[in-house]
Structures are given as structure tokens and as C-alpha cells.
Chain A
Amino acid sequence: MTSGIPIAMRALLILGSVGTGAFILGRIRSSKVQIRDSIFWILFSALLLFLSIFPGAAIWAAEQLGVESPVNFVFLFIIFILLVQLFSCNLRISQLDAKVRALTQKIALDENERKEDKKENP
């Protein structure tokens, strides 16, 4: 089979895919990550596996987009997916930050209220 993706690259993709999958499943086993947060990585490792087994898909897509080498398409594609994930992570962190702020303020206000209550009716 003549393939536009070197065999070493394909091996690397398989390794990366299996490694990612195994790592995230191990984290789920030990209750270190929520399942909804692991879905992205499961799909991502499935995609890497797909590209390494069927390099034809990358070759076809590279031709369509006018990318000279299929390997470059693989890079571009992965970078794009990771950017989207980074963006959604950023949104999550932003929301978490707001929640931590609200919680901290709430605790401080409640504490303050309790102390004032104590002063008023000891």
C-alpha cells in the first residue's frame, strides 16, 4: 500500500491514541475525573486511531484543502481540535473562577453575620 503517511508516524499516532485512552480510563477507574470531562479524550484517541489505521482519510482531506503533505494535514487538524478544547477549558475555568469568588464572599458574609448576631445576643 502506498501511503502518504510514513509508517513511523502511524505507529506514533497509535501509541498516542492507546496511551491517551488508557490514561483517561485509569483516571476514571480511580475516580479522579468526571465522565463528562473524559468524553473528549475518548473521542480524541478514537480519532487518532482512525487516522493511523485509515491514512487514506487524511490523504483525501489534504488534497481537498490543498495541503501539500497529509502529515501536515494531521498536524493542522489536531491543532484545531486542541484549540477548540482549550477554548472550552478556558470558559469552564472562567465559570469556576466566578463560582469560587461567589462562594468565598458568601462564606465571609455569613461568618460576619454570625459574629454580629453573637455580639447582639450573647
Chain B
Amino acid sequence: MRLLVVIPAYNEQESLPAVMADLAATCPEYDVLVVNDGSTDGTAALCRERGYPLLDLPVNLGLAGAFQAGLRYAASHEYDAAVQFDADGQHLARYIQPLAAKLGEGYDIVIGSRFVGKKRPFTARMLGSRLITAVMRLTTGTKILDPTSGMRCLDRAMIQSFAQNLNWPPEPDTISYLLRCGARVCEVPVEIAERQAGTSYLTLYKSLVYMAQITISMLVIQWFRKNEWKKGGRL
């Protein structure tokens, strides 16, 4: 299986070397692509200096746009699978293989879940995660324990669709929409590390707006969307 690890990076020059070293040591068989999302620090220069495979976006597009750029690359280079992987050191390379193995069992999307067989801590952010799980279960009948996990593995057809479509950001409402379209999604337990450097850009206000957006999208908008996902619909 040819698998591409897509690493969207915005101002991650501090943590990127450790992430790349982890990947090179743990799973050298997978290809890696750093998508520099218009960073203002030395992320791009660091990649060139150390020879990391780099897709350098000249302006900042945000996580969804950067990840999509990586998927366009994966689609045009005909990869069988792509994994979304954080540049801040929270994701661990040793969990990529289990994700890929599960995908090989015939799933379309495999989510690296922090909470399979575990209790979610009672923090504000986890309250949001619980709410999304509940709404998703209500509208799709499927229970996804870690819908906001940023570690996801997509198969070939999904790579094509995510690369092309306007309203398929890598967010829980897209997962929910795809479940309703008949996609096979499952979770594999993973552990995550504390972030190596930098701070999360999720402020309280942004989190609230995000929650409102995702919930409205899942509760209201989803019922009106067309099924744009067809199995094997390669373009």
C-alpha cells in the first residue's frame, strides 16, 4: 500500500524536526509531505535545508486548505491512502500502521481515536467533543467517540473526493455527512503526546464559533446536501 503522510504546518519550525525524526525512525516505508501553510517563521526554510518533501503554499489557507493541498498531491501521485498528521508533535508515528491496516480491511476512513475504551476527561473542550458525538449519533446512528481527532486515514477514493469537493473540510460534520452517504468509517485507539512547542490557536471564542458551525451543519444543513460520494467514483 502506497501511503502518504500529509503534515500541514503553520509556524511549526520548533516541533517539526522531532516529528520528522519520529516518522523516519518508525515508518520509513511511508512517504511524507509537509504542507507549509504560508508560515511566517522559518518552517519552509527548515524543510529545504533538511530536505523534507515540501509543498510550499505562498499564502495562509488554514488547516482545511493546507490538508486539501496535500490530498491534491496524493491524488495526482496516485497514492492508495493518505494520513492527516499534526506537525506539533501530538501525533505519534507508531499509530500510522494500525490505521493503514484497518483501512486495508475495507474501510473508507479510519480515525485515530483517543477515547476508544477510555473515559473522556471533563474539560470544556471534551464537553464539545461529547456534544458532537451525541449529535452525530442522533443524525447518523453511528457512535464516533473521537470525532474531532485530527489523525485520520483516507482511502484512494476518499482522497479524490476530499481533494475535489468544496464542502469537505476535514471536520466532524464531513464525517457525519459521509456516514449518511453510506461511507464506512471506524476508529482505532491511539495515544497522543503533549504538544512539543507553540500554543494551540483554538481560543474560547473560536471554539464556540466552531462548535456552533459544526452542530448547525450536522443538525440542519446535512439533510439538504446531495450525496456527492459514490464508492469507486474515481475522476
Contacts and interface: CB of A to CB of B under 8 A. Distances in A.
A25 B173 contact: no
A31 B221 contact: no
Nearest to B212: A39
A25 B228 CA distance: 15
15 contacts: A25-B224, A28-B167, A29-B225, A31-B165, A31-B166, A31-B228, A35-B221, A39-B212, A39-B213, A42-B220, A42-B221, A99-B60, A103-B58, A103-B59, A106-B58
B213 A35 contact: yes
Given A34-B167, A99-B59, A42 B224 contact: no
Contacts of B58: 102-103, 106
Interface of B: 58-60, 165-167, 173, 212-213, 216-217, 220-221, 224-226, 228
B213 A36 contact: yes
Interface size on A, as a range, is 10 to 19
A25 B167 CA distance: 13
Interface in A37-75: 38-39, 42-43
Most buried by A among B60, B213, B224: B224
Given A31-B166, A31-B167, A43 B216 contact: yes
A39 B216 contact: yes
Contact of A34 (B166, B216, B225): B166
Contacts of A42: 216, 220-221
Interface of A: 25, 28-29, 31, 34-36, 38-39, 42-43, 99, 102-103, 106
Given A28-B167, A39-B213, 14 more contacts: A25-B224, A28-B221, A29-B224, A31-B165, A31-B167, A35-B217, A36-B213, A39-B212, A39-B216, A39-B217, A42-B221, A99-B60, A102-B58, A102-B59
Contact of A38 (B59, B165, B212, B221): B221
A-B interface, 8 closest residue pairs, ranked by CB to CB distance from nearest: A25-B224, A106-B58, A99-B59, A31-B166, A35-B217, A102-B59, A35-B167, A39-B213
Given A31-B166, A35-B167, A35-B213, A25 B221 contact: yes
Contacts of B228: 31
Contact of A28 (B59, B60, B213, B225): B225
A102 B40 CA distance: 13
Nearest to A98: B59
Chain B CB within 10 Å — which of A28, A35, A106 has the most? A35
A102 B56 CA distance: 14
A29 B217 contact: no
B226 A29 contact: yes
B79 to A, nearest CB: 25
B224 A28 contact: yes
Contacts of A31: 165-167, 228
A36 B214 CA distance: 9
Contacts of A106: 58
Contacts of A28: 167, 221, 224-225
A35 B59 contact: no
B32 to A, nearest CB: 25
Contacts of B217: 35, 39
B194 to A, nearest CB: 29
A31 B229 CA distance: 13
